[in-house]
Amino acid sequence: MSPAAPPVPPSAPRPAALQPLLPSDPSSIAGYRLLGRLGAGGMGVVYLGRTDNGELAAVKVTHADQADQADFRARFRREVEAARRVSSPWAVPVTGADPDAPEPWMATAFVPGPSLGEAVAAHGPLPERSVRILGGALARALAAVHAAGLVHRDVKPGNVLLAVDGPRLIDFGIARTTGETALTSTDMVVGTPGFLAPEQAEARAAAIGPPSDVFALGCLLAHAATGRPPFGTGAVDALLYRTVHDEPDLAGVPDGLLDLLRACLAKDPAPRPTAEEIADRLTEDTPGAPADWLPAPVVRTIAERSAAMLALPEIDATRLGASEGGGQAPPSRRRFLLLASGGAVLAAGGGVGAWAALRDDDKGRKAATPGGKRRWIIGVQADLTGPAKDIGRAQERGARLAVERFNARADKPFTLEVTVSDDGGDDRRALAAARVLTGDPDVLGVLGPTSDYTGLAALPAYDEARLPLITVSAGLNLLTNRATGQGLSVLQACPQHAIAGTHVAYYVLNKTGSVRPGILQERTDDTYAWQYIGGANFAFRQGKVAPVPRVVPGTTTDYKRVLGEMIAEGMDAYVHCGLTPSAVLAARALDELGFTGMKASGQHVFGPRFLAEAGEAAEGWILGAPVVDPATRKEASAFVAAHRKRYGAAPAYYTGESFDAVNLLLQEVEKIVKGGKAVDRTAMTTILRKVTYKGVMGDYAFDPEYGSLSSATVGTFIYTVENGRFKPLEFAPAGPPKNRRV
């Protein structure tokens, strides 16, 4: 599901996001007994803790390597100080902290309810009265923040927790004293795109103040009232641009809130109302008691999560102490059994992790085969039953062929098996599908996921486990975005979408000599299309041509009018940056208009659906894809023969690349084993990023820091549609025509 798609309400509320503790987790921190994990990422872990008197807390613990960074402790100490300075019933209080500990930690009161973002995604927009009470309480929380001389700077749906008696504002991690810029680069955008003010989007540090929080509050309330952010979704650059230049989308906001939200969302900070003024305006006409301020489905979610908290295990009669060796006592099997029996919250949220932690009786089950060789697992996370099931099944077959070939060797130093986890192409299932694989210590690495957004949703599990994740089809740049602390585990064995857009545009210039290429972005999948059009625009600038641009909503159907205007402006070639349904409409429109220039698009149009739905209008189109037809590669002949023997057909697209990705991993693991060293899967990503591998589909090398595919290796392959089929042509060129004259 793309970020631009409307939320699909599930049939039941999602369970609380509590995962069992891992064997490496401590059992307690500074008097807080740890009951489970609330979340984890590249910076650290948030645990659910409980004091001896039964009070629950969210305990945030940072990784030791983060604490070693020069300015990290200063930032963490400022977060603690900022949170302690705010006194409001609508802001979550700090209950304990130690910024100077080897692993700095901070505890805040625990609120069992969902975040505002979760509630809106699961149950849809809130009614006007709920939005008014929400806004009034948050405005009062912000008034307390501003009275303490602070600016929160990250007011967003994920930082608001919902309770029966009202909302709670959380996370002061990037809060700053008013006017303070010493620890912030003047050109750094701080905050969450889509929920930040224009002055934040333009990194005007001196202009950021309390009115910036008011703008963010306006965005948040618009999201709560309509179910969508007022500046859309998608690529970061696109969100920042719209925040600064576009008017907010307030369609569907109740009339009683429109004027106030428009005032909050003024581009200029000066006329925005203060937090106190907002609180007064939102609560003056609010009838009834606040206890029934939320719709029944949201209240039911809060009740279920609260009941799950009450079902957690009792405090042990004796404290967990140190082991005889002086170190931390390892988590006991009994403690994990108690956690697993603690209610639906654990059974639904972390059953796989709990199973992995309870493997004492199975120790050695996969340690060795009857022949005495170690057995490892290759994981595959793929869409096997959803919209991209053909690609997912092809990737699974590629992995199985690689494993079968390895196991057939007489000199193999270990044996392999395959475990497949189907996410159905649904980003809401992706994280659970990932934990099936990361929770098994015998999994060496994982091929997948199939799509961009399942990959993004699953990423926290792989980063937390430091388990190598090799994708041959997910080209989203956010998968390798170290700036956000994510993507530590990823290798992208395919070009990123922006690079692929550059490749296709270079092909158009080299083959046509175009001087006025048309370029259209449709916004069904804003992130993909924005990256693709950005790459294509870069190529056209390199080629010294000025394209004819258009950006259209994802709901646009009148492509004949839009493309007719582009032709009238001199368009002599066309690049479509979007998905298959709109490409079909564009193909039909260009055919009716008699357009004879080159027509091109990318990965998300390359597939049988475009051929079937566009029909004759697809003839002659150029498609760039991150896959090569195995029939064009003599190096792949043995692989093709093995696939035919195993599956009775020629390999589908993405099978060969998946075969290569698994063999890349196995090559390096085998080197380690033959060198007499132990295999540490948490170190494999770093090793793989430094490798150049010659596969049957081409050569692979990666950026050693980010894990993205090196520009010097496998790139974008070009196909044309001929007689209703994709005909392979060649790899796209690496640059514009030389000595080009315009």
Q: What is the CATH number of domain 1-9+113-310?
A: 1.10.510.10
Considering the chain, what is the average pLDDT of its residues? 83
Query: Residue 393 pLDDT more than 90?
Result: yes
- Mean local confidence (pLDDT), 567-581: 97
Output the six-digit token pair for 725: 């089929």
Residue 80: partners with Cβ closer than 8 Å, 6 or more residues away: 94, 97, 99, 106
Which tens digits make up the pLDDT trace of 106-137? Answer: 888 888 888 999 899 888 999 999 999 999 99
494-521: b or e for each residue (b if 16 or more CB lie within 10 Å)?
A: bbbbbbbbbbbbbbbbbbbebbbbbbbb
Q: Is the dihedral of CA 498, 504, 508, 509 positive or negative?
A: positive
Banded model confidence at residue 42, pLDDT cuts 50, 70, 90: low
pLDDT tens digits, 522-548: 988 988 998 999 899 999 999 999 999
pLDDT value for 485: 62
Query: Mean pLDDT, to the nearest integer, of 22-37?
Result: 87
Is the model more confident about 187 or about 631? 631
Instruction: Tell me the backbone φ, ψ of residue 334, rounded to 5 degrees.
Output: -60, -40
Reported as a single tens digit per residue, the pLDDT across 511-520 is 999 999 999 9
Q: Predicted confidence band at 350 (pLDDT cuts at 50, 70, 90)?
A: very low
Query: Could you tell me where the DSSP H helices lie in 197-343?
Result: 198-201, 210-226, 236-245, 255-264, 275-283, 296-310, 333-340
pLDDT, residue 67, reads 60
Known catalytic residue at 154: yes
CA nearest neighbour of 295 among 216, 230, 225:
225
Residue 180's pLDDT band, with cuts at 50, 70 and 90, is: very low
Give me the CATH code for the 375-494+633-710 domain, please. 3.40.50.2300
Q: What is the mean pLDDT of residues 490-510?
A: 96
Give the percent of the chain with pLDDT over 70. 82
Mean pLDDT of 298-312: 75
* pLDDT attached to residue 284: 53
Same fold flag, 1-9+113-310 and 375-494+633-710: no
Task: State the architecture of 17-111+312-319+330-363 in CATH terms.
Answer: 2-Layer Sandwich (3.30)
- The share of the chain scoring above pLDDT 90, in percent, equals 56
Q: What is the pLDDT of residues 327-342, one digit of tens each?
A: 333 333 333 222 322 3
Q: Does residue 378 register a pLDDT over 70?
A: yes
Predicted pLDDT at 671: 96
Cβ neighbours of residue 47 closer than 8 Å, sequence gap 6 or more: 21, 25, 29, 32, 34, 35, 36, 37, 38, 58, 59, 61
- CATH number for the domain formed by residue range(s) 497-625+718-731: 3.40.50.2300
Cα–Cα distance between 566 and 549 in angstroms, integer?
8
Kindly list the domain boundaries of the chain, sorted by start residue: 1-9+113-310, 17-111+312-319+330-363, 375-494+633-710, 497-625+718-731
Provide the pLDDT for residue 70: 60
What are 404-431's pLDDT values in tens digits?
A: 999 999 999 999 999 999 999 999 899 9
pLDDT in tens, 458-487: 998 999 899 999 999 999 988 987 555 678
Mean pLDDT of 605-609: 97
Q: Tell me how far apart the alpha carbons of residues 469 and 488 are, in angstroms, rounded to a whole number.
A: 9
Burial (CB count within 10 angstroms: exposed 0-12, middle 13-18, buried 19+), residue 259 = exposed
The active-site residue out of 25, 154, 422, 423 is 154
Averaged over 670-690, what is the pLDDT?
A: 95
Residue 360 has pLDDT above 80, yes or no: no
Among 32-41, 222-231, 411-420, 618-627, name the one with the lowest average pLDDT.
Answer: 32-41
- State mean pLDDT over 583-611: 98
